[in-house]
Chain A
Amino acid sequence: MKHLLIAAGLLSATSAIAADKSQLTVYTYDSFVSDWGPGPQVKEAFEATCECELNLVGVEDGAALLSRVRLEGENSDADVVLGLDTNLIAAARETGLFAPSSISADFALPIEWKDDTFTPYDWGYFAFVYNADASAPANFKELADSDTKIIIQDPRSSTPGLGLLMWVKAAYGDEAPEIWAGLADNIVTVTKGWSEAYGLFLEGESDMVLSYTTSPAYHLIAEEDASKAAAAFDEGNYLQVEVAAKLAGTDQPELADQFLEFVVSDAFQQIIPTTNWMYPAVTPAAGLPEGFETLTVPENSLLFSPDEAAAVRDQALAEWQNALSQ
């Protein structure tokens, strides 16, 4: 009798699954899934092609996202993770939780991209954003010598903050501590996240704020306000490349691959510029939205490989803490 019941239970369970559409769960950062982010449009566009249900789950930011995946380990609910950047890739790879997937595309990144596991979906340059009627320093040394006030984010709690740490290290190497010491009197304050810093800058608390070269595009396109500009530094601006990857423990490997193919397709890429306010990793057939051509494009770009980034991270953080704690 008992066996019969179990069999009946199993049977009804399988038929229930067959009746339901297959589910794909994607973990990403919170601003991606918010109503103003790419999430809602991405869900609609993918579900139109996949005969499945796409569940987007938002987790604070990129670093918290990786922590969540590590916390859940091999039996994570996620099939795909979208929203890590190059500073997190080495740690992500080391967990062994991610699986290769051979996605290829004609990437429009300023650098060459070769990675069989992590697929880029957008990118941008870190830059200091300022009011266009003011003048901007041409590099970190000029900034340090000026009395321009800046607000930055804490590398321990914020992705742009960590990006700046890498930027100074990539541009100056062993000279980085002196650069930070020089910048100390320019830094008004250090915030937990991007939102606090950008909010304070808009209130007039500083002359510049660490953000992206694409930030002025938001003000221009969404608010028809051309008053913000981003500074190109002649050392080069550090890149942020955001990536997606399939989890090794997924129970939907084909669907996950299909999603990653979708991520580098036009349907996904054309959503990115005006919702995530970053450059698409593959330029859509229709080109970039109007307004993007006005953006500052730095002549040089800087980026540590994931392994280099992992190797210098702790030392760079210690230098930063020392220089700014004096």
Chain B
Amino acid sequence: MAERAQPVSPWPGIGAAALVATLILGTLAAVALRAETSSGFSPADWAALKFTLTQSTLSALFSVLLAVPVARALARRRFRGRRALIALLGAPFILPVIVAILGLLQVFGRSGWISDLLGLFGLPPIRIYGLHGVVLAHLFFNLPLATRLVLQAWQEIPAERFRLAAQLGCNGAAMFRLIELPMLLRILPGVLAVVFAICLTSFAVALTLGGGPRATTIELAIYQAFTYDFDLGRAALLSALQLALTAVAAFAALKFSRGDGFGTGLDRAIRRWDGGTPTLDAFWILTAATFLLLPLASVVISGFAGLFEMPAMVFRAALTSIIVAAASTAILLLLALPMAAAVATGRYGIVELSGILGLAASPLVIGTGLFILIRPLANPTTLALPVTALVNAAMALPFALRILVPAARDVVTRHGRLAISLDMGKGTFFARVLLPRMRPQICFAAGLGAALSMGDLGVIALFADPQIATLPLQIYRLMGAYQMQAAAGGALLLLLLSMGAFWLLDRGGRWHAEA
């Protein structure tokens, strides 16, 4: 294939992708090589694989199907508090698992708010535990993410398209068919693959909401192989299976999501003339908001009392978490921006694939692999925080890429030829054209990365030192010491910090989204 001139160099991105692939596959290899004997797959593992595939597929389908009307409603309507609502909708995604489970069950559990309400009318409590409970919980985590990703794409449609359509007298249905449907077909496979991969590695959520051992996922089997059987070979094998499933999903998504973007626009603020059905839009927004905000409200309510009972070390842990989140966000951008630029030049799908692997990598395998690799060189405990920041960045990378790649592609298509004809240097194009034009996406990705890193337990538990703890670890420690109220306070603090970081960073980039 003849080399076509490109406005931006793919090599830094390829380097970053190689680094990420080395981290994920290298740690897996380290675990596999350390194995003494391995028993291979057991029938129970096949059952786990079947359940994992079923729940991830259902969770991904429901999250994406529901995200479309919610995102469309949010894209079409302007109302007071819209921004705050969009920011709040990001919250479930960043809660530590244990806090999210308690919040969800406070609403949907046997003695939750809904069951209490039903009780007033003499109705039996709802039965939340089972496959439907698992899907509901994953919907709680992933609907906001899917909505944000779809909404982002909606807002990237040039305003001129809607103007033209309105001028030509298109009604809502025609506008959907001509403008919105092609956009959805282009981005939905990618969103599906991301949500599928997230749900693939679910463990505590699936087990608790699933109601028992029939809800055994591959991640639980990996944990069991590590700690219950100490069968490193089987752990590595299962982890490789998880990665392979994600790679297949990602390949399928990349294959199906081809299609042209919308081309040039003048960056005007988007106005919509297809008023359509306000009641329907209101219904979707209200339903999604109620579903997502009720469990958050329960986290806030139960945390409020504990907020004043928290010992000083909780605040110290919060500070540690902020530092780790900042470092992790910096690493994330250093990896994601060159990778997005490389993908945007059009020939490096493999770069995108290596970015998505972070989703499917078992934290336990990465952590153990790093431990094996670091130990001959240094005391792993002293490196707990840098390692946590690095792994958090790798885990957030797939999200950052989903956000950055479409925008980078647009910039390269729109301005690339002009830059080449002006003989603009590749570095200059990257710094002066690509980055400034991607500011909203960069800030959104940074916000998400910071919030994710803040809320994720990550690998710190494997390397922990009694003196050093991040906030999620401190919350687990409080719970382990019966201090449920202080833990609830810590969870609220974490929620506030994560939302704050997300709000601050994301706000910096919202120059084109009007209130």
Contacts and interface: CB of A to CB of B under 8 A. Distances in A.
Interface of A: 30-31, 33-37, 39, 56-61, 63-64, 66-67, 70-72, 77, 91, 149, 154-157, 184, 187-196, 198-200, 202-206, 215, 218-219, 222, 277, 320-321, 324-325
B224 interface: yes
B381 to A, nearest CB: 7
Given A58-B464, A190-B212, A71 B482 contact: no
Contacts of A320: 213
A155 B227 CA distance: 11
A205 to B, nearest CB: 5
Given A198-B484, A199-B98, 12 more contacts: A30-B476, A33-B466, A34-B466, A36-B483, A63-B228, A67-B230, A72-B375, A187-B212, A191-B207, A196-B101, A198-B479, A324-B214
Closest 10 CB pairs of A and B: A36-B481, A204-B111, A195-B479, A33-B466, A31-B480, A34-B477, A63-B227, A156-B224, A192-B204, A325-B214
A203 B208 CA distance: 15
A321 B230 contact: no
* A39, A60, A215 interface centre (most CB from chain B within 10 Å): A60
Contacts of B487: 199
A202 B484 CA distance: 9
A192 B462 CA distance: 16
A199 B464 contact: no
Nearest to B314: A35
Nearest to B205: A192
B102 interface: yes
Interface string B7-48: 000000000000000000000000000100000000010010
B230 A30 contact: no
Interface of B: 34, 44, 47, 98, 101-102, 105-106, 109-111, 129, 203-204, 207-214, 220, 223-224, 226-228, 230, 232, 311, 313, 368, 371-372, 375, 379, 381, 461-462, 464-466, 476-484, 487
A189 B211 CA distance: 4
Given A31-B477, A198-B482, A277-B482, A188 B207 contact: no
A302 B34 CA distance: 37
B102 A200 contact: yes
Contacts of A321: 44, 213
Given A63-B228, A72-B375, A36 B477 contact: yes
B482 A30 contact: no
A162 to B, nearest CB: 8
A316 to B, nearest CB: 12
A195 B311 CA distance: 19
A60 B476 CA distance: 10
Nearest to A219: B482
Contacts, number: 147
Contacts of B313: 35
A25 B466 CA distance: 13
Contact of B34 (A60, A71, A184, A200): A71
Nearest to A222: B482
A244 to B, nearest CB: 17
Contact of A154 (B129, B213, B311): B213
Contacts of B213: 154, 190, 320-321, 324-325
Contact of B109 (A31, A155, A205): A205
Given A57-B381, A205-B105, A191 B208 contact: yes
Contacts of A215: 482
B208 A35 contact: no
Given A57-B465, A156-B220, A189-B129, A149 B230 contact: no
* B212, B368, B479 interface centre (most CB from chain A within 10 Å): B212
A190 B211 contact: yes
12 contacts: A57-B464, A57-B466, A157-B227, A184-B212, A188-B110, A191-B204, A192-B208, A196-B101, A199-B484, A203-B102, A203-B106, A320-B213
Given A67-B230, A187-B212, A60 B220 contact: no
A195 B480 contact: yes
B466 A71 contact: no
* A30, A63, A192 interface centre (most CB from chain B within 10 Å): A192
B42 to A, nearest CB: 10
A59 B477 CA distance: 12
A204 B484 CA distance: 13
A203 B98 contact: no
B207 A67 contact: no
A194 B480 contact: yes
Given A58-B464, A204-B111, A218-B482, A192 B227 contact: no
B476 A195 contact: yes
Given A205-B111, A218-B482, A71 B214 contact: no
Contacts of A203: 102, 105-106, 109, 111
A155 B224 CA distance: 9
A43 to B, nearest CB: 9
Contacts of B208: 189-192, 196, 200
A36 B487 CA distance: 12
A33 B477 CA distance: 9
B481 to A, nearest CB: 4
Contacts of B479: 195, 198-199
A220 B436 CA distance: 60
A319 to B, nearest CB: 11
A198 B487 CA distance: 13
A188 B125 CA distance: 13
Contacts of A325: 47, 212-214
B110 A205 contact: yes
A58 B381 CA distance: 10
Nearest to B482: A218
Contact of B212 (A30, A206, A277, A324): A324
Nearest to A191: B208
B102 A199 contact: yes
